[in-house]
Structure 1
Amino acid sequence: MNAKSYSRSAFTLVELLVVIAIIGVLVGLLLPAVQAAREAARRMSCSNNFKQLGLSLHNYHSAYNKLLPNGTGTGPEDAGTGNQRALSALPGLSPFMEQQALWSLFANPLMPEAGESPDNPLPNGSWPAFGPRTWLDLNEYDPWQTQIPTLRCPSDPGMSALGLGMTNYAFCLGDGILRVDYSPTSQWADRGVYRGLFMRNDPKGFRDVLDGLSNTVAMAEIATDLGDRELIGSVADGTNFGDNAMGSSTSICTDIADPTRPQFAEPSISLWSNGGGSRGSRWYDCKIMLTGFNTVLPPNSPTCVLGWGTAWRSGIFSAASRHQGGCHVLMADGAVKFITESIEAGNQEADSVAKDYNNLGQASPYGLWGALGTIASREVASLP
């Protein structure tokens, strides 16, 4: 019998290496597309959050014929009782965001749990309705620690160092720099600088928007601090700057960028590093550094507070996001737009509108971006 010969087919080592190399190239080409698709989904989710906030604002206005001020609450401002009228507009919007349970918890006296000691409690030992002063009982008062999912952009990974509820959506206080977040009852207030849709302790309505709802910014994204000195989430401390010089030269703020790494602050610049008091770190607190912005520098620019005044009420507070090239804004008519970093922002060396410069009532010096932040400056400005 003749022996039969058998042939066996198989990959050679060279062929296997070629196949592996091809797979590696394909994966390398595919990964950026997957990442881009994920960011597109996060960006869409972020836009949808803003649409929900827009509906909440309009439903609130339909119910009360006014918008909430970004600075409201209980007790006189400078008293030790209540929350010193320091709540942002977000707690009042919570029942219009399908957060009725949180609103009920927030709007009623709350008994502490074992081991908790409320600041200025009621006679029965409970927290008063609408909580204590906004910087106290951070680790004890439950509403302070509640995170509303609608208030977080999926593209922003920031987390509170104190476990507090955060926000990526802030209210527009106009195009002012000096005293822009002062209460109108303050002896140092400058009524002419309150040019945005929101201000402390003074609610505005849609009828106040003489420039048109579709031409006025109501809210915008802000980026939270990751602790890495990135400009969009960090806050340059007021000790870096002198008095009100920033009011006549915004380059004082933009110059904090590191020339070798322009997305980060220069190493010699001191930053505000309190995890309970940085951008977006307390959703319920009205301070402009926490839940506000002004239309001075374009989106994704630095934020710089002035060292005079109290509670970071003067400075440049920029809109920002971790989306590529700009951020979402909510117009007063409820439309959500994406504003790029290249938006026309006027003369950055001009005097800001303030009583200090005897220019109250003038058009915004900050171009289209500044004009979009004002409600009644009679500028003919709109997005293309």
Structure 2
Amino acid sequence: MLPALKARSRSSGFTLIELLVVISIIAILMALLLPAVQQAREAARRTQCRNNIKQLGIALHNYHDNHGTLPAGLIVRLATNNTQDLPSRFAAVLDQNRHLGTNWMVSLLPFIDQSPLYNLVDINTPLSIASGNNATVRSTTIPGYLCPSDAFNGAPLERYNTFDNTGAATTPGRPWARANYGANLGREMYEWQIQHRATPSQKKGAMGFGSGSKLSEFTDGTSNSAMVWEIRVGVNNQDPRGAWALGRFGASLVGGCDVGTAGLADCSGINARDAFADDVDGCTNAPQNGMGCAFDRGDGEVAPRSMHTGGVHLLLGDGSVRFVSENLDFTVHRNLNSISGGELTAEF
């Protein structure tokens, strides 16, 4: 009898064609799913960003309940004795970089569970000195001051370039941590405010030079007046925009965007991407990153910005948060930055 022939066994592996088909299917699925995953992640980041600015609103109202007013946007001190508050005559400060006192974000620390950090602040010493407790305070990252959608806010401001009255550059040491929210300083440009050109009843903001506003002064209605705008931080370590403890336009303060008699806006709009859109001392003109800016010590105007698609978050005087379109009309933008201008704010 012949021995039984063993049946040939077929390999259970993939052929090359089958493998290529499987890889193609996986690639297609990944291409379909990846945008959805990215959108879901950005939605979560945007929600966190909204929650953070909402918490700032609660803290600001608690501050108002305790002090009868909102915190000052910034305190500026005279160069002669470094103790006298100088809320408006900014041009009299011999070295702008060395005589900046506390700003609204420093004042708000006890109301966001940061009392130990606030207790380190020496209000008689400029926050811009290179050592000591104030340097420690300004270099501390506050998670609630950050929007997770901003890809640049993890890098601090390490070298702040500005001009004093002689035109010389000044560069203090020790970094400044970042933030993504700026107080509404008013509808007029920075330079005009500091030279008393602004008409307080028409162009006053929520938090100004040397003092903050009372909610009773929001005669346009707290639901029609901006308190805090979302902003972006500078794209490199020399751009001061988004430095939370720095009481400067673009760093922790937003405003401007007035509309002149010719109907022309004095600043670019929300999420402006054109070159020289902002006017901030020491800034870096980076329109390719949506952060155009003119390095200038003059007018001072800042556009609210975010890395969200289509707009920015806005905290109103009543504590509510709105997502405002980047296509917002300039006139409406101006009216939101005025708390008592008597304007009729259109729907936004």
Q: TM-score, normalised by structure 1?
A: 0.68
1:191-202 maps to which residues of 2 (within 5 A)? 191-192=198-199, 194-202=203-211
The residue type equivalent to 1:370 in the other structure is R
- Post-superposition offset of 1:190: 2.2
Matches within 5 A, 1:319-358: 319-345=304-330
1:315 aligns with 2:300: yes
Which segments of 5 or more consecutive residues in structure 2 lack a partner in the other structure?
84-97, 159-174, 258-267, 283-295
Q: How far off is 1:344 after superposition?
A: 1.2
| Map of 1:298 onto structure 2 | 269
Q: Deviations over 1:155-174 (max 9, x none)?
A: 11321142322111001122
Please tell me whether the aligned partners of residues 172 and 295 of structure 1 are also in contact (alpha carbons under 8 angstroms): no
Q: Give the letter aligned to residue 319 of structure 2.
A: G
1:156 maps to which residue? 150
- Partner amino acid for 1:303? D
Correspondence for 1:225 among 228, 234, 237: 234
User: Which residue in 1 is equivalent to 2:214?
Assistant: 205
- The change in CA–CA distance for 1:372 and 1:335 in structure 2 (over 3 A counts) is same
SS in 2 for 1:133: coil
Tell me the CA shift for residue 304 of structure 1: 2.0
CA distance in 1, matches of 2:149, 2:281: 29
**Distance change (3 Å), C-alpha of 1:97 and 1:192:** same
Contact 2:48–2:148 at 8 Å: present in 1 too? yes
- For 1:145-184, what aligned pairs fall within 5 Å after superposition? 145-158=139-152, 159-162=155-158, 163-177=175-189, 179-182=191-194
Q: Equivalent of 2:332, from 368, 377, 382?
A: 368
Matched-pair contact (CA < 8 Å) for 1:42–1:154: yes
TM-superposed deviation, 1:142: 1.0
C-alpha distance in structure 2 between counterparts of 1:28 and 1:378, whole Å = 52
Q: Distance in 1 between matches of 2:59 and 2:192?
A: 25
Alignment of 1:180-191 (within 5 A): 180-182=192-194, 188-191=195-198
CA distance in 2, matches of 1:325, 1:23: 32
Indicate the percent of aligned positions where both proteins have the same amino acid.
Answer: 31
The root-mean-square deviation of aligned C-alpha atoms, in Å, is: 2.5
Instruction: Provide the rounded CA distance (Å) in 1 between the counterparts of 2:346 and 2:112.
Output: 28
Question: Gapped runs of 5+ residues in structure 1?
Answer: 107-128, 183-187, 228-273, 346-366
Taking structure 2 as the reference length, the TM-score comes to: 0.75
Structure 2 distance, partners of 1:66, 1:178, is 22
Pairing 1:216–2:211 present: no
Q: Which AA in structure 2 matches 1:192?
A: T
Q: Any conservation in 2 of the 1:305–1:315 contact (CA below 8 Å)?
A: yes
**CA-to-partner distance for each residue in 1:234-285, whole Å, 9 max, x for gaps?**
xxxxxxxxxxxxxxxxxxxxxxxxxxxxxxxxxxxxxxxx72x62112x112
Structure 2 residue identity aligned to 1:376 = S
5 Å-filtered alignment, 1:1-384, equals 1-8=3-10, 9-72=12-75, 76-81=77-82, 84=99, 86-106=101-121, 129-130=122-123, 132-137=125-130, 141-158=135-152, 159-162=155-158, 163-177=175-189, 179-182=191-194, 188-192=195-199, 194-227=203-236, 275=238, 278-281=240-243, 283-294=244-255, 296=257, 297-301=268-272, 302-305=277-280, 312=297, 314-345=299-330, 367-384=331-348
Distance 1:339 1:312, change over 3 A: farther
Q: What count of residue pairs does the alignment treat as equivalent?
A: 284
Structure 1 outlier segments of 4+, above 6 Å: none
Shift of 1:69: 1.1
Structure 1 residues 323 and 180: CA distance shift in structure 2, 3 A: farther
Letter of the aligned partner of 2:5 in structure 1?
A
